Amino acid sequence: MKTALGNLDFADATTLSEALTLLASEPDRVPLAGCTDVYVGLNFGHIEKKRFVNIWSLSELRGISENADFLRIGALTTYTEMIESPIIAKFLPMMRDCARLIGGCQVQNRGTVGGNIANGSPAGDTLPILAVAEAMIIAQSLSGTRKIPFLSFYAGYRKTVLLPGELIVAIEIPKPPGAQWFRKVGTRAANAISKVVIAGLRGETVRLAFGSVGPTVIRARRTEAVLSSGGTIAQARDALAHDIHPIDDLRSTSRYRMQVAENLLSAFWDSTTPNQS
């Protein structure tokens, strides 16, 4: 462990109002949810901040609900809760498929959707889903609540537009139209960071988002336009080269990622094409 835990200052908040008051008066405090990303950062010495506020007990940030138009997922909802939720199974099955592939049981029991979003890793597996579902992030501070379109939430690599003192309290998701599809490709089938991750929606139009192929999650707009207007999958594969520009890094090469992304695009199309026979 590169960071000595004894030098860190942890405060526990038991209500949302307590957490927001603490974050407003002590803006150097970092929220701690399931701690599955923060702990890794501390272990590798990547986190310089020394003061934290534990939000794990905030019941206001929990729960999955729905109304006629939207699903609402509390920011502290864990992957296990999403795997077990009948609402997710019915309206957002791609999120269930995704949650089942995140880490192992321990991470699924502690890791939260709010943490995945706020952490802002381009490999965050829920992010392509939220991008195609055109989710809204509900952020709250002592100054009030605002809704941020998910597609405007990232200002760059691991940079969000959250303001000091703001917490993500929930995610609001319009009930997605059409067939849903999620896949990730990593080194192993489980407990692996994605080399490429894709979410797709196929209804009257097509929506596609990719992760791990750029500084933030990317909506593949040109590829969507080709497929939505009746173009062929070959044309869509060509368009994808304009939408994403993966880099070489320690997990993969750009060329490999591009090839996998194209293959996933074809697999999405085949899987969501109604059986002609």
Ligand X SMILES: Cc1cc2nc3c(=O)[nH]c(=O)nc-3n(C[C@H](O)[C@H](O)[C@H](O)COP(=O)(O)OP(=O)(O)OC[C@H]3O[C@@H](n4cnc5c(N)ncnc54)[C@H](O)[C@@H]3O)c2cc1C
CA 138-88-156 angle, to 5 degrees, is 40
Q: Is 31 in the site for ligand X (CB under 6 A)?
A: yes
Number of residues that bind ligand X (CB under 6 A): 27
Of positions 72, 91, 92, 124, contacts ligand X by CB under 6 A = 124
Structure tokens at 169: 């309290």
Would you say 110 or 207 has its CB closer to ligand X? 110
Among residue numbers 176 through 235, which ones bind ligand X (CB under 6 A)?
A: 191
Q: Which is nearer to ligand X, 167 or 226 (CB)?
A: 167
Residue 36's nearest CA partner among 120, 127, 111 is 111
Q: Of the candidates 32, 94, 95, 198, which one interacts with ligand X according to CB under 6 A?
A: 32
Q: Which is closer to ligand X, CB of 137 or CB of 227?
A: 137
Residues 6+ apart with CB under 8 A from 101: 125, 184, 189, 190
User: Is position 115 an interface residue for ligand X (rule: CB under 6 A)?
Assistant: yes
- Specify the residue, 40 or 161, whose C-beta has the smaller distance to ligand X: 40
Q: Should residue 40 be labelled a site residue for ligand X when binding is judged by CB under 6 A?
A: yes
Q: How far is CA 247 from CA 102, 192, 214, 218, 255, in A?
A: 23, 18, 7, 14, 8
Tokens of 80: 């296990």
Position 81 contacts ligand X (CB under 6 A): no
- Sign of the torsion formed by the C-alpha atoms of 18, 140, 91 and 36: negative
Nearer Cβ to ligand X (81/243) = 81
User: CB of residue 235 vs ligand X: minimum separation in angstroms?
Assistant: 31
Q: Would you say 72 or 237 has its CB closer to ligand X?
A: 72
Binding segment for ligand X (CB under 6 A), chosen from 119-127, 201-209, 229-237, 256-264, is 119-127
119 binds ligand X (CB under 6 A): yes
Of the candidates 3, 13, 19, 36, which one interacts with ligand X according to CB under 6 A? 36
Chosen residue from 114, 122, 176, 246 binding ligand X by CB under 6 A: 114
CB of residue 213 to ligand X, shortest distance in Å: 14
34 forms part of the interface with ligand X (CB under 6 A): yes
Among positions 13, 19, 23, 38, the unique one binding ligand X when judged by CB under 6 A: 38
Residue whose CB is less far from ligand X, 116 or 223:
116
Residues that bind ligand X in the complex, under the rule CB under 6 A: 30-38, 40, 75, 102-103, 107, 110-112, 114-116, 118-119, 124-125, 167-168, 191
